Amino acid sequence: MEKIMSPQLKDIIITRTLDADRETVWRTWTNPDYITQWWGPNDYTCPIAKSDFRVGGNYLYSMQTPEGQLTWSGGTFQEISKPNKIVATDSFMDESGNIVSPEIYGMPAYHPTILTLTVTFDDLGDQTRLSLHHSSFPDELIEPCTQGWNESLDKFEAALKLNQL
């Protein structure tokens, strides 16, 4: 029997300097009311964002295509150090928050079921450096997933402007 080798997995790492104080960035990243403003790449909306924001708590976010197709993702918060760092698992989910195979959403069979997302927030005074580290993607998904994250972060920056007090 021939063994099928899965490709090497790589991490997505993105750093942005944002024109907002760290408290505003933290609030916009963690509050479900704000998450619905920015979650997902261009042309996607986030009709539902639920979060039990505590260590051991779960989150469940939706992304909806212009055609109405929903994709669900979520996980469990593993570390929260307000306002410095968040570490959470990340998986494809069904609408009830159950982990599903990535293949259901068109991902390759060797796509990991559980990834890790780490986001740090560095205080730069009137600005904040956001660093995102999302592991472990099959090589052929690095470019489209990085593009998706960058589009989400563009929307995040627009949401920051709306949410500054």
Q: Is residue 93 part of a domain?
A: yes
Q: Residue 98 domain-assigned?
A: yes
Confidence of residue 2 (pLDDT cuts 50, 70, 90): very low
Domain count along the chain: 1
Mean pLDDT for the stretch of residues 36-50: 97
Instruction: Supply the pLDDT for residue 5.
Output: 52
Long-range pairs, 42-46, Cβ under 8 A, ≥24: 42/151, 42/154, 42/155
Average model confidence (pLDDT) across the chain: 94
pLDDT of 152 > 60? The answer is yes
Average pLDDT of the residues in 90-115: 96
Q: What is the pLDDT of residue 162?
A: 86
Q: Model confidence at 103, in pLDDT bands (50, 70, 90)?
A: very high
Whether 136 is in a domain gets the answer yes
Q: Do 97 and 74 touch, CB atoms closer than 8 A? A: yes
C-alpha 38/C-alpha 60 separation (Å) is 14
137 vs 5: CA distance, rounded Å: 15
Determine the pLDDT at residue 21. Answer: 95
Domain containing 47: what range? 9-163
Please tell me whether residue 139 adopts helix, strand or coil conformation. helix
- CATH number, domain with residue 132: 3.30.530.20
Tell me how far apart the terminal alpha carbons of the chain are, to the nearest angstrom.
62
User: Is the residue at 13 inside a domain?
Assistant: yes
Helices vs. strands in the chain: H and E counts, helices first: 3, 7
Say yes or no to pLDDT of 55 above 90. yes
> Does residue 114 register a pLDDT over 70?
yes
